[in-house]
Homo-oligomer: A and B are copies of this chain.
Amino acid sequence: MSKLTAWGVEGIGEIIPGMQLGDIIVEACSGEPNGPLLDNDVLVVTQKIVSKAEGRLVEIDPDDPLSHKVLVEEEAVRIVRRRGDLIITETKHGFVCANSGIDLSNVERGQAALLPIDSDRSARRIRDIVKAKLGVNVGVIVSDTFGRPWRKGVTDVAIGVAGIAGVLDLRGTPDALGRVMQVTEIAVADELACAAELVMGKSNGIPVGVVRGADAAWFRESSMDEIVRNPSEDLFR
């Protein structure tokens, strides 16, 4: 029987530009009551600390609540929708989200954090450090918090992956009654990001989660190309 466990990693501390997140995560996990990282654990790392570690911080006017809006347009390749102050953009990475993924929470006043340039690379770097230091193969997901059409509230999604499937292709797999399934591509990276969000929360300063118990078959080379839908195949752009 499969069983999944998720917990937040304590003791990460404040991240500043130039820090090597892989080292910090390995160090923080070493004292965890859940024991050291194991093969096929999934590390979920929030975008905000990745952006901070990689120096993706921009000075903004702290007294102007809309001062980051010019950055939003700079980081966008397309304005998908706009209503009042709300701007839904497509970013250079192909993500469609509010404000090009730029927000001001959990950064110092007077700063805005941009998305990492290449979150797959950020994830891979963390994965490589864990492998080098501990000898274990983990999956790494860089997660961010996106809204969605039609439903209220936000959920976490993957914006970078390494060593763990983005989308699981079950085409051709029979369902429980032996018929070929219609719904066949499961966005496991996004579901793992959601599971981790539940233990990290938004306000308690826990920017890294571990999910243990994911199916061993999901661990493989991967990239966000699996998840980002081509605009030409999209009915909503």
Q: Which residues does A use to contact B, with CB under 8 Å?
A: 1-8, 10, 33-34, 81, 83, 86, 88, 90, 95-96, 103-109, 145, 148-157, 166-168, 170, 173-177, 179, 181-188, 190-192, 194-195, 197-199, 201-205, 213-214, 226-229, 234-237
Select from chain B the residue with minimum beta-carbon distance to A203.
Answer: B173
Indicate the member of A86, A176, A214, A227 with the most B CB atoms within 10 Å: A176
Identical chains in the assembly: 2
- The answer to whether B199 touches A150, judged by C-beta atoms less than 8 angstroms apart, is no
Closest chain B CB from A83 CB (angstroms): 6
Taking CB atoms, residues of chain B closer than 8 Å to A228 are 150-152
Question: Can you spell out 18 A-B residue pairs with CB atoms less than 8 angstroms apart?
Answer: A3-B7, A3-B199, A4-B195, A4-B199, A88-B235, A90-B150, A95-B150, A106-B179, A145-B183, A149-B149, A150-B237, A151-B187, A151-B229, A153-B185, A155-B187, A174-B203, A175-B203, A195-B198
Contact B1 A179 (CB under 8 A): no
Closest Cβ neighbor of A148 among chain B residues = B148
Using CB atoms, name the residue of chain B closest to A9: B1
Assess the B150–A175 pair: CB atoms within 8 A.
no
Task: Contacts A106-B179, A108-B177 known; list 16 others, CB within 8 Å.
Answer: A1-B10, A3-B6, A3-B34, A6-B195, A95-B150, A105-B179, A145-B183, A151-B187, A152-B187, A153-B188, A153-B226, A170-B203, A173-B203, A176-B203, A191-B197, A191-B198
A1→B95 CA distance, assembly (Å) = 32
Residues of B within 8 A of A1 (CB): 7-8, 10, 33
Closest to A5 in B: B5
B152 touches A185 (CB 8 A): yes
CB A143 to nearest CB in B, in angstroms, measures: 11
* Contact residue among B4, B105, B170, B226 (Cβ-Cβ distance under 8 Å from A6): B4
